Amino acid sequence: MNNNPLFAVAAVYDNPDKIISAVTKIANSGYRKFDVNTPYPLHGMDGAMKLKSSKLGFITLFFGLMGAATALLLAWWTLSVDYPLIIGGKPFFALPAFIPVTFELTVLLATVSTVICMLTFFFRFPANSYPIHDTQYMKDVSGDKFGVYVEAADSRFDLTELTILFNETGAVRIDQIYLPAKEVYPLFQPKFLWFLFSVFVITSIITYFSLNKLMYMEPFDWMADQQKQSVQKMSAFYSDEFGMRTPVKGTVARGFIPYKYLGQAVPADTMKNPLPPTSSVLELGKKKFLTFCSPCHGNFADGDSRLRGQFVNPPSLHTNRARTMTDGFIYHIITNGQNAMPSYSSQVTREERWSIINYLRVLQKAKNASDADLKMAKKESVSDGK
Ligand code: HEC
């Protein structure tokens, strides 16, 4: 009745027990290329079909490990080999900091590749037709019937043996399913391709001549043409022809207070500390000192750097020189930098700088207290009731 090659022989059952016993027999007879279609999952079917567990888990494992390795290698190479950066005195390859990224990349690669591999390798995406579609068999098993089909491609395939097996196990229908006739898509006929090609060529030529030659039109001129001055470009508007303008002489930009002694190694005059050493000022000073100064100067300003020789060790700030510096000069060092020490004016605000200096004074006092200081501290703690 059909000249196309046979794809499979299929049987439909009306009872789950019957199909399980049929499938057990098929699997025991050595068939491998067969599949089962049931309206709902049947308990015991995996065992009856002798299915092995899916290999998808290995793909997940492989790509998960790849993700973890990629993240760790990237973090290690960028931050320890290519561009070693000291961050808060920590080791270059500070593992705890890279755990979140490693975790994210592991999960990302594992899940995305699992889905992609499942669709492409296991479900053969984008195959969207299959010989058993559009058959009476498919209609039955989409309703209340249970079906099994054995592919003709199976090396054990024996049509008469299978028909007998199906009949013995109580099949209500036995179908032979043929491969569909090969379709020739009119889309890929040479005539049509030539037509497409000529449409492309003719439209391009007409568009080119009408837009570019007949009436000159820019396709989109949204913001290309407008009155504006780019900083790096020449200007026809200003007499000096510079696009980049310098600030008007004698004016100060909003929020900007110029520092008078910038660039001077030892300014002749310095500023006065406007902040009294109140507890909130010292609290702020301590916090900022520990954040910005302690990596090099040490937690107690002893000059015991945490940078393990990656940067010049600074001197102790308990020297006579540092103790007798004016507040204004220390402010100058923080703002301007001194020799190897860079300027901290962009990280530390003016108020924070003065607070750090007040806190530094506390540290210096604590490491160089005189008897009189101790007596005064005792008296104060007595009057506090401690
Ligand atoms: C990157 C490391 C580093 C950091 C961070 C740093 N310093 Fe320094 N600092 C140095 C070095 C190095 C010197 C010595 C510079 C020199 O040779 O004159 C120095 C010198 C100083 C001096 C002068 C000491 C002297 O005897 O001349 C003061 C005061 C000082 N630092 C205060 C600070 C304060 C306050 C901070 C926090 C805002 C800070 N430093 C942050 C590296 C640092």
Q: What is the pLDDT of residues 202-236, one digit of tens each?
A: 999 999 888 888 887 666 777 777 778 888 888 88
3-state secondary structure string across 185-202:
CHHHCHHHHHHHHHHHHH
Q: Output the pLDDT for position 30.
A: 92
Start-end of CATH 1.10.760.10 domains in the chain: 279-383
pLDDT digits (tens, 9 = 90+) for 320-355: 999 999 999 999 999 999 999 999 999 999 999 999
Q: What's the mean pLDDT when you consider all of the chain?
A: 90
Q: Whose CA is nearest to atom 22 of ligand 1?
A: 333
Alpha-carbon distance 370 to 86, whole Å?
Answer: 39
Length of the chain: 386
Q: For the whole model, what pTM was predicted? A: 0.48
CB-CB contact of 16 with 147 (8 Å): no
Report the atom number in ligand 1 closest to the C-alpha of 319.
26
Any atom of ligand 1 within 6 Å of the Cβ of 293: yes
| 378 Cα to the center of ligand 1, angstroms | 33
18 closest CA partner among 40, 48, 46, 47:
48
Residues 347, 288 contacting (CB under 8 angstroms): no
Give the Cβ contact number of residue 87 at 10 Å: 11
pLDDT number for residue 219: 66
**pLDDT score at 252:** 84
> From edge to edge, which strands make up the β-sheet containing 146-151?
34-37, 146-151, 6-13, 173-178
Q: Verify whether ligand 1 is closer than 6 Å to residue 226 (CB atom).
A: no
In the predicted model, what is the mean pLDDT of residues 86-95? 87
Ligand 1 atom closest to the CA of 342, numbered from 1 = 1
339 touches ligand 1 (CB under 6 Å): yes
Token pair in block for residue 109: 């690669």
Report the distance separating Cα 157 and Cα 33, nearest Å: 9
Nearest CA to ligand 1 atom 13: 314
If one counts every other C-beta atom within 10 angstroms of the C-beta of residue 101, the result is 14
Residue with CA closest to ligand 1 atom 25? 322
What's the gap in Å between 271 CA and the centre of ligand 1?
19
For 326-361, the three-class secondary structure string (H helix, E strand, C coil) is: CHHHHHHHHHHCECCECCCCCCCCHHHHHHHHHHHH
Mutate which of 296, 319, 325 for ligand 1? The one with the most ligand atoms within 8 Å of its CB, which is 296
pLDDT score, position 254: 83
Helices (H) and strands (E) in the chain, counts: 13, 4
Distance between Cα 168 and ligand 1 center (Å): 94
Distance CA 340, CA 343 (A): 10
CATH 1.10.760.10 fits 279-383, yes or no: yes
Candidates 343, 311, 312, 313; CA nearest to 85 is 311
* 68 Cβ closer than 6 Å to some ligand 1 atom: no
Question: Going by CA atoms, what residue is nearest to atom 29 of ligand 1?
Answer: 330
One-character DSSP codes across 257-300: ---TTTT-SS-SS---------HHHHHHHHHHIIIIIHHHH-TT
Q: How far is residue 365's CA from residue 359's CA, in Å, rounded to a whole number?
A: 10
C-alpha 315/C-alpha 186 separation (Å) is: 85
pLDDT digits (tens, 9 = 90+) for 126-153: 877 888 988 999 999 999 999 999 999 9
363 pocket-lining for ligand 1 (C-beta < 6 Å): no
Ligand 1 atom at minimal distance to the Cα of residue 293: 37
Q: State the DSSP H helix or E strand holding residue 182, giving kind and residue range, or none if neither.
A: none
pLDDT number for residue 21: 94
Q: How far is the CA of 359 from the centre of ligand 1 (A)?
A: 15
State if residue 76 touches ligand 1 by the CB under 6 angstroms criterion.
Answer: no
CA of 321 to the centre of ligand 1 (A): 13
Residue 297 Cα, ligand 1 centroid: separation in angstroms? Answer: 7
Provide the angle, in degrees to the nearest 10, between the axes of the packed helices 95-117 and 56-76. 150
Mean pLDDT across the stretch 170-190?
A: 85
